[in-house]
Amino acid sequence: MSNFVQKWLERLVKPLVISHHKRSGAVLFSDTTLRDGEQMPGATLEPEEKVQIALALEAAGIHSIDAGFAASSENDIKAMQMMVGKVKGPVLTSLCRTLRGDIDAADRALDGQPNHKRGVSLFCGTSPLHRRDKLQKSKEEILDLIVETVGYAADKFTVVAFSPEDASRTEVDYLCECYTKAIEAGATTVGFPDTVGILTPEKARVFIRQIQDNVPNIDKALLAVHYHNDLGLAVANTLASIEEGANVVQCTVNGIGERSGNASLEEVVMALTLHQDQFNRTHKIDTTKLAPLCRMVAELTGIRLSPQKPIGGSNIFATEAGIHQDGLLKNPDTYLPFRPETVGESGIKLVLGRHSGKRAVEHRLKEIGFAATDEEVATVLNGIKELPKGEVVDDERLKAFLTAE
Ligand code: MN
């Protein structure tokens, strides 16, 4: 097929794909663990490790992967080149400034990937602060820059995203003008980044509504959101935007990223999954892949999870409290919002400690092969209650209590 015919076909198919996504009501997950996540101090990943995470994201059903920033580092180019042809499901994108050189670098890094599975994600500051102090450019100059570079990117790429950096602090009428021009110039996705993480769910909702109401050609592009967690609201803002009609949500595994991080992928997915009645939106993420994915990213980045981190933390399915242990043994649903298997965990962990009761002790003894009498269970429990602060009871200690009488 000649280049010309291929281009012509792509132009024909593109709007159909976009309108299909928009009408289907599906929430498309974009993951930026490998780009914004890796920007977190100390989270550096080797190219091989990035490929490993990209493949796990693919297996989890991610729609697109922000694979790196080609113009910024040789390692990012290397990682992207290694993903080409190997990561087949998700669209791989490279971050770009509104510079031709960045788009060319992305083009080289993603060379060999099928056209509909590769893209660029352009960004340019649009807020008064960015215009005046960072870019020293007028509103008009920035609009021209957007039109010029989005157009340039659209000649090379089928998938072109444009995001006004610091969108949440940009005048809304100017913001809508930027989106309108970007879509006219060929953007297939427009992003709404809350770059410094200052929004609340209500304010995010108003922005998403206003963009949809005031960008006349918004039906020609997907609307994506990218939230930071500086106020601990990234997940809440993402969910509010989904409810308001955003098509794409960009997250990171474990919520890693700049400063307080980004919206956590696993939390957004689980909230969406458990509240189908509220959101009425489908998604393609396999929730049973989430907990193993969280562990993999924690291990490879070296950014450890706090024990109480939702979904992936080590305490999520562990309990030491007697009443909870008793309830969980009768029916796990009594004290859990969802079963461990839902997110790919093996089961509930009953931790034996000062707060435990006899049911849990009896249960664990039986599991390790001891059918203890009530009296023996009481003896073991007394031993546990007298343990020094912070000490936990492993199976060896349990057996020692039992045989010590
Ligand atoms: Mn960011």
Q: How confident is the model at residue 8 (pLDDT cuts 50, 70, 90)?
A: confident
Q: Return the H-helix or E-strand segment holding 320.
A: none
Give me ligand 1 centre to Cα 333, in Å: 37
* Mean pLDDT (the chain, rounded): 95
CA 387 to centroid of chain Cα atoms: 41
> 339-370 pLDDT, tens per residue?
999 999 998 988 898 888 899 999 999 989 98
Give me ligand 1 centre to Cα 100, in Å: 21
> 83-123 pLDDT, tens per residue?
999 999 999 999 999 999 999 999 999 999 999 999 999 99
- Residue 355 burial by Cβ neighbours in a 10 Å radius (0-12, 13-18, 19+): middle
Q: Which residues lie at CB < 5 A from ion ligand 1?
A: 36
Give me ligand 1 centre to Cα 192, in Å: 11
Give me ligand 1 centre to Cα 258, in Å: 7
Give me ligand 1 centre to Cα 261, in Å: 8
**DSSP assignment, residue 252?**
B
Is the Cβ–Cβ distance between 350 and 323 less than 8 Å? no
Is the Cβ–Cβ distance between 353 and 321 less than 8 Å? no
Give me ligand 1 centre to Cα 166, in Å: 9
Average pLDDT (259-280) is 97
Asked if residue 56 has pLDDT above 60, the reply is yes
> 124-139 pLDDT, tens per residue?
999 999 999 999 999 9
Q: How confident is the model at residue 153 (pLDDT cuts 50, 70, 90)?
A: very high
What would the DSSP string read from start to end of 379-402?
Answer: HHHHHHHTSPTT----HHHHHHHH
Q: Which amino acid belongs to residue 210?
A: Q
SS3 133: helix
Give me ligand 1 centre to Cα 226, in Å: 7
Give me ligand 1 centre to Cα 170, in Å: 16
Model pLDDT, residue 196: 98
Q: How many CA atoms lie within 13 A of 95 on its CB side?
A: 21
